């Protein structure tokens, strides 16, 4: 019985050490930029361009996009929450570290600027983007995506300079219920017509830093 207090003390030390280890947060993952570039080149570059600046308007420019947003989209493509046959197949091959590496590498690259194609459409798009449509309770896009289209890291994607065709296609998919991985966007875009969607897309494509 004289060993009992000693055993209790040892048990207490073991338990306290275990709880201390459990309470200590894991170190955040540090993305490997070299691996990110290599994986992107092997899996993604054919559609999105060697540096993330897609040359085709049907595929988005990814260079300069917020890494948190890219990572979230890749995770949701892999899980099926965001449906796209091509991207779901590509994302299925990626591990979590691959996604974080790719996202960090893309964010480090400079996006090539875009431009508006139609002056009248862009003017309408600017009105909606900056002021919304009050009589239909449509909020201004600038509230979430910022006045210059740079977005808010970890929450809302950068839109400026993106291909207008791609922006329009995604807004249409939100409106029509094809893309449903963001309830807020679905609710906002549900009230827009085709011309307003094209106008917003054209205006956003031509946004600049200043």
3-36 confidence digits (pLDDT tens): 445 544 545 544 454 555 455 666 788 999 999 9
Calpha distance 73→81 (Å, rounded): 9
Residue 17 has a pLDDT of: 47
Listed in sequence order, the residues at least 6 apart from 42 whose beta carbon sits closer than 8 Å to its beta carbon are: none
Average pLDDT over residues 158-175: 97
For domain 119-205, which architecture applies? Answer: Orthogonal Bundle (1.10)
Residue scoring higher pLDDT (16 or 152):
152
Domain coordinates of the chain in residue numbers? Answer: 33-108, 119-205
Do the domains 33-108 and 119-205 sit in the same CATH topology, yes or no?
Answer: yes
Give the C-alpha distances (Å, rounded to integers) separating 52 from 106, 132, 179, 204: 6, 31, 22, 18
Percent of the chain with pLDDT over 90: 83
Q: For 115-128, write each residue's pLDDT tens digit.
A: 999 999 999 999 99
Average pLDDT over residues 178-192: 95
33-108: CATH topology is Cytochrome Bc1 Complex; Chain D, domain 2 (1.10.760)
């Amino acid at each position: 019985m004289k060993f009992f207090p000693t055993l209790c003390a040892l048990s207490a030390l073991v338990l306290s050490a275990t709880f201390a280890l459990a309470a200590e947060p894991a170190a955040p993952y540090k993305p490997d930029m070299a691996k990110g570039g290599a994986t992107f080149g092997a899996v993604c570059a054919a559609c999105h361009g060697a540096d993330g600046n897609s040359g085709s308007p049907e595929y988005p420019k990814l260079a300069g996009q917020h890494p948190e947003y890219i990572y979230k989209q890749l995770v949701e493509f892999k899980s099926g929450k965001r449906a796209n046959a091509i991207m779901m197949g590509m994302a299925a091959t990626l591990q979590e570290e691959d996604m974080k590496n790719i996202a960090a590498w893309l964010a480090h690259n400079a996006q090539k600027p875009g431009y508006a194609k139609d002056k009248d459409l862009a003017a309408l798009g600017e009105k909606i983007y900056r002021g919304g449509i009050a009589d239909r309770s449509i909020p201004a896009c600038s509230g979430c995506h910022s006045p210059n289209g740079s977005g808010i890291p970890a929450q809302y994607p950068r839109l400026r300079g993106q291909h207008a065709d791609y922006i329009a296609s995604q807004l249409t998919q939100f409106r029509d219920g094809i893309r449903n991985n963001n309830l807020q966007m679905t609710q906002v875009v549900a009230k827009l017509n085709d011309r307003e969607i094209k106008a917003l897309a054209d205006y956003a494509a031509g946004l600049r830093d200043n």
